[in-house]
Amino acid sequence: MRSIWTGSVAFGLVNVPVKAYAATQDHDVSLHQVHDADGGRIRYQRRCEVCGKKVDYEHIDKAYDDGDRTVVLTDADMASLPAEKSREIEVVQFVPNDQIDPIMLERSYYLEPDSKSPKAYKLLVQTLQNTELTAVVKFALRQKTRLGALRVRDDVLVLQGILWNDEVREAQFAEVSEKTRISPQELKMSSALVDQFRADFNPGDFEDEYQAELRTLIDEKLRQGDSLDTAATFGGHEETAEAGDNNVIDLMEALRRSIDKKRMGSAADDSSVKEPGGRENADGEGSAKKDTATKRTAKKGETGAGATAAAASRTSTRKTAKTSGSSAGLNRGA
């Protein structure tokens, strides 16, 4: 990792030199825009509205427009601000860990000790751990004065930006303020459904399926050297609800169905009773699983040579239809 900021944490007379590193990264596939006719790259140019000339970054200043007048702020003006020169993370408060609303938290940064003797760094780490407190700090980063939370994660100091109070909008919705009667039975059923899904959170259990499929699509297109029918590769997605069903489902019924579905899923996973011949004795569950496995096998098969053949067949069919249509149009025009 490459450090993005160097400074120090200061609380009282204690000064802790640190380096800051981005603690998170974007895993999305990087895409850009192209011309659909020839695949040429679409690029954006910075042009002045007055003279029409292209302008390099070195000749671009910031400005504020109040609607009637414009104030231009040069790099020298921005550098004159005291926050821009600050290289200090100033501790202003120590608060209980649960007092900072998660909605106010921004991007996180790891802080590495930047000293031959990391004793002051480790002292601050142990102090925060023992007191179960979070340090509220002020710091400057990328031409902005920021509020932050300094806490410990895996024995490393983590600086997390906090939004200013006026940056968080109030949620004002008429539907929420209306009085609604929740029956004890509905609350009981809802709690039962929650218990069915209760588990310890493990981030590794979840995957960004969209990005995974996007990467598969790109790899398949590169392998084929031509366009690819998405449906042939991924086989589509099953609908979770009946199309066109706009009726409002009774809340109790929805809860009951959800609980029953979860219980049936758990029972299917735990069931190991089989009839002679290897069939599962669970109300046709074996057949259902067999059908599901067959469908999955078919879908997986499509991602290989079958997908290529199917895509080529559909591409050929579309091209033939398009050619026929074009010929018919020319004949009609003649």
331 Cα distance to chain centroid: 52
> How far apart, in whole angstroms, are the C-alpha atoms of residue 193 and residue 256?
8
Task: Average the pLDDT over 180-196 and give the result.
Answer: 89
Highest mean pLDDT among 254-258, 278-282, 305-309: 254-258
Confidence category of residue 107, pLDDT binned at 50, 70, 90: very high
Residues in the chain: 334
For the chain, percent of residues with pLDDT exceeding 90:
30
- E-strand spans in the chain? 5-11, 14-22, 62-65, 70-73, 88-96, 105-113, 133-140, 145-153, 156-162
19-26: Cβ within 8 A, 24+ apart: 19/111, 19/112, 19/114, 20/109, 20/110, 20/111, 20/112, 20/141, 20/159, 21/109, 21/110, 21/111, 21/112, 22/107, 22/109, 22/110, 23/107, 23/108, 23/109, 23/110, 23/158, 24/107, 24/108
For the chain, percent of residues with pLDDT exceeding 70:
71
Q: Is residue 114 within 8 Å of 6, Cβ to Cβ?
A: yes
Confidence category of residue 232, pLDDT binned at 50, 70, 90: low
Predicted TM-score (pTM) of the model is: 0.59
Residue 75 has pLDDT above 90, yes or no: no
pLDDT of residue 138: 93
Residue 202 has pLDDT above 70, yes or no: yes
Residue 206: what are its φ and ψ, rounded to 5°?
A: -120, 145
Q: Is residue 27 within 8 Å of 208, Cβ to Cβ?
A: yes
pLDDT, tens only, 255-277: 777 778 877 777 776 665 444 44
